[in-house]
């Protein structure tokens, strides 16, 4: 059997398959089952910035009503008083996951400002999380805010979080940037340990009968692979942190492609929802079989082999690919 070990964001993983942030990690029982089926690490379902701030403000109000004169002590006062708080539940979930598994447990915060919530990563570290993933997205829909102002928000969030934790910080980003390569390089130099490309969003859809806004495309499809494949390939060997691919990775072929492009690991979720936890074993079996057939003993022997910096045809990652495809396309 081939050696499937890899390193991502300073963590040693038994294989490159990480379970992405989703409801798959809601219960300790399913986390254990995911581990038993081969998951190398699990990103817990995200806690939202709004939830943290809402509960912090609630504690602040309690402090004021109790006559405390120093509201800045909200970071510590009464943190464990209310057992129904989402923040306490989240910290308890981290502790339980660590107690009942032997793989890295990665906490996740969905955030969009460098606001008061940034005290909370310290609590996450104290609860035993092996790393923290920041799922950051600021929709560039403000007509009065420049691209530079948007990008500054991301860097401000990272800076504030890095002040409070020593565990690896991983940043999951979108591709909605005017100069994506340059910005991702800048983020990689901010002291983070890992980049995940790319996050998947809630997208609005319309019910044309009820005239209501609904959600569309909750799960990814295999065809979603190609955006991250392109950018993993372009960035591999050119950024100052580990790279993981996300979205559209549904089988072993997709995993192998991302590794060839230069990814250190992948995050999957939709394929588990569609095919069950057993899909992890299927993906890993396919990777092992392919490596054996190609006579690769370890992932390091072929990782990044087809990245832009290593390929004999680097232009294939750029415009010429589009031109060649449609010139040779035949109507079915």
Averaged pLDDT score across all residues of the chain: 88
User: Is the link from the previous residue into 198 a cis peptide, with omega within 30 of 0?
Assistant: yes
Q: What DSSP designation does 3 have? A: B
Predicted pLDDT at 71: 42
| Radius of gyration for the chain, computed over Cα atoms and rounded to the nearest angstrom | 21
- Is residue 80 pLDDT above 60, yes or no? no
- The DSSP bridge pattern shows strands 242-246 and 11-13 to be unpaired
pLDDT at 189: 97
Could you write out the DSSP letters of every residue in 138-195? --S--TTS-HHHHHHHHHHHHHHHHTT--S-EEEEE-S--TTHHHHHHHHHTTT-SEE
**Strand pairing class (47-48; 131-136):** unpaired
DSSP state of 321: H
How much is the pLDDT for 75?
42
Max mean pLDDT among 114-118, 127-131, 175-179, 324-328 falls in: 127-131
| DSSP code string of 197-264 | E-----EEEEETTTTEEEEE--S--GGGHHHHHHHHHHHTTTSSSEEEEESS--SHHHHHHHHHHT-S
CA angle 262, 8, 170 (to 5 degrees): 105
- Cβ burial of 139 (10 Å; 0-12, 13-18, 19+) is exposed
For the cut 90, the answer to whether the pLDDT of residue 269 exceeds it is yes
The number of residues making up the chain comes to 332
Looking at the predicted structure, is the pLDDT value of residue 47 above 70?
Answer: yes
State mean pLDDT over 138-149.
80
Mean pLDDT, residues 64-81? 43
58 has a pLDDT exceeding 70:
no
Helix-helix angle 86-100:28-36, to 10 degrees? 30
Of 81-90, 147-156, 265-274, the least confident: 81-90
Going from the C-alpha of 158 to that of each of 70, 121, 206, 329, the distances in angstroms are: 27, 11, 35, 44
Q: pLDDT at residue 77 above 60?
A: no
- What's the pLDDT at 50? 87
Q: What is the mean pLDDT of residues 287-291?
A: 98
Q: Which residue has the tokens 């107690």?
A: 99
pLDDT of residue 154: 94
Does residue 17 surpass a pLDDT of 50? yes
Separation of alpha carbons 21 and 184, rounded Å? 21
State yes or no: pLDDT of 74 exceeds 50.
no
pLDDT of residue 320: 57
pLDDT greater than 60 at residue 183: yes
CA–CA separation, 126 and 250 (whole Å): 34
CB neighbour class for 2 (10 Å; exposed up to 12, middle 13-18, buried from 19):
middle
Provide the pLDDT for residue 216: 74
Cβ contacts of residue 1 below 8 Å, gap of 6+?
288, 292
Which domains does the chain show, CATH number per domain?
Answer: 6-327 (3.20.20.70)
- Counting residues of the chain whose pLDDT is more than 70, the rounded percentage is 86
For the chain, give the percent of residues with pLDDT over 90: 65
Structure tokens at 24: 């798959």
Pair 302, 257: CB distance under 8 Å? no
pLDDT of residue 173: 95
pLDDT level of residue 328 (50, 70, 90 thresholds):
low
* pLDDT for residue 285: 98
CB 241 within 8 A of CB 195: yes
């Amino acid at each position: 059997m081939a050696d499937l070990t890899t390193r991502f964001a300073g963590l040693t993983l038994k294989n490159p398959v990480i379970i992405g942030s989703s409801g798959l990690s809601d219960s300790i029982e399913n986390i254990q089952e995911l581990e038993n089926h081969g998951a190398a690490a699990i990103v817990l379902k995200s806690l939202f910035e709004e939830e943290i701030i809402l509960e912090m403000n609630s504690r602040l109000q309690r402090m004021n009503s109790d006559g405390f004169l120093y509201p800045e002590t909200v970071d510590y006062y009464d943190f464990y008083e209310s057992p129904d708080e989402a923040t306490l539940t989240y910290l308890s979930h981290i502790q339980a996951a660590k107690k009942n598994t032997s793989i890295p447990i990665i906490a996740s915060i969905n955030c969009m400002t460098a606001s008061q919530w940034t005290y909370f990563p310290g609590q996450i570290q104290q609860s035993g999380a092996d790393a923290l993933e920041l799922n950051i997205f600021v929709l560039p829909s403000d007509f009065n805010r420049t691209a530079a102002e948007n990008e500054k928000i991301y860097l401000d969030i990272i800076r504030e979080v890095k002040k409070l934790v020593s565990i690896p910080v991983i940043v999951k980003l979108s591709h909605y940037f005017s100069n994506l390569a340059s910005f991702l390089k800048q983020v990689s130099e901010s002291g983070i340990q890992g980049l995940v490309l790319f996050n998947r969003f809630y997208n609005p859809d319309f019910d044309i009968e009820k005239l209501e806004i609904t959600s569309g495309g909750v799960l990814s499809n295999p065809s979603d692979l190609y955006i991250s494949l392109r950018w993993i390939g372009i960035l591999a060997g050119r950024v100052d942190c580990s790279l993981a691919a996300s979205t559209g990775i549904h089988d072993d072929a997709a995993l192998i492609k991302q590794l060839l492009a230069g990814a250190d690991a992948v995050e999957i979720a939709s394929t588990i929802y569609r095919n069950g936890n057993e899909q992890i074993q299927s993906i890993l079996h396919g990777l092992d079989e392919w490596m054996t057939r190609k006579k690769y003993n370890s992932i390091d022997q072929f990782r990044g082999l087809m990245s832009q910096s290593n390929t004999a045809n680097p232009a294939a990652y750029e415009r010429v690919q589009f031109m060649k495809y449609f010139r040779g396309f035949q109507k079915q």
